[in-house]
Amino acid sequence: MSKSISRDNRVSPLWAIVSAPAVWAVHFLASYLTAAIFCAKLADSDGSAGEVQLAVMSYTVIALLLIAAIGASGFRRHHHGRHSTSHDDSGRDAQRRMIGFATFLLACLSAVATLFTALVLVFVGTCH
């Protein structure tokens, strides 16, 4: 019981805010590196890049699942405590709600950015 209370009183870690954009950044790098290496080393003479599209779709599913989990965690923190709790007090509850809200909003933004990155490679589909 005391352990549970102690966990509840902890302030959310700041790195939670940047975790969703970090997933988007890794997805971006992985997608373009895969396309660049495939097109430089493995592409057929007709330049089709179906394998790259498959790989990027896989990366995208994984990235979106991670971002959804991070967003859900942020949303839970945001709803911690009473509804009237402020976001900008110095108290632990307020910090927790503020970090949770920022994490949730950045997760939404990262999900859109990840989809936009994937769309380019899915639509283009060639090395030309």
Partner 1 sequence: MRPELIDDVSQSALDPAGVGATQIVDLFHWMVGGGVVIWLIVVGLSVYSIVVPGGHRPRLTKTLVIGGGAVVPTVVLSSLLCYALAMLPELHRPPPSDSPTVKVNGVRWWWRVQYQTDDGRTIETANEIRLPVDEAVEFKLTSEDVIHSFWIPSLGGKVDMIPGRETRLKLYPTRVGKFRGVCAEYCGTAHAQMRFDVTVMPRPEFNRWLSNQSSDAREPSQQSAIRGGELFRRKGCGACHTIRGTDARGRVGPDLTHLASRSSLGAATKPNNTENLRHWITHTHHVKPGVTMPAFQALDEREVDAIVAYLEQLH
DSSP letter, residue 48: B
- Output 76 or 128, the one with its CB closest to partner 1: 128
DSSP letter, residue 47: -
- Number of residues lying near partner 1 (CB under 8 A): 11
- Output 42 or 112, the one with its CB closest to partner 1: 112
* CA distance to 26, 34, 56, 102, per residue, from 48 (Å): 24, 14, 14, 41
Q: Is 9 in the site for partner 1 (CB under 8 A)?
A: no
- Residue partners of 99: CB distance under 8 A and separation at least 6: 11, 12, 13, 14, 16, 17, 74, 77
- Output 85 or 92, the one with its CB closest to partner 1: 85
| Binders of partner 1 in range 84-123 (CB under 8 A) | 108, 112, 115-116, 119-120, 123
* Amino acid code (one letter) for 36: A
Q: Is 68 in the site for partner 1 (CB under 8 A)?
A: no
Q: Is 15 in the site for partner 1 (CB under 8 A)?
A: no
| Contact residues: partner 1, CB under 8 A | 108, 112, 115-116, 119-120, 123-126, 128
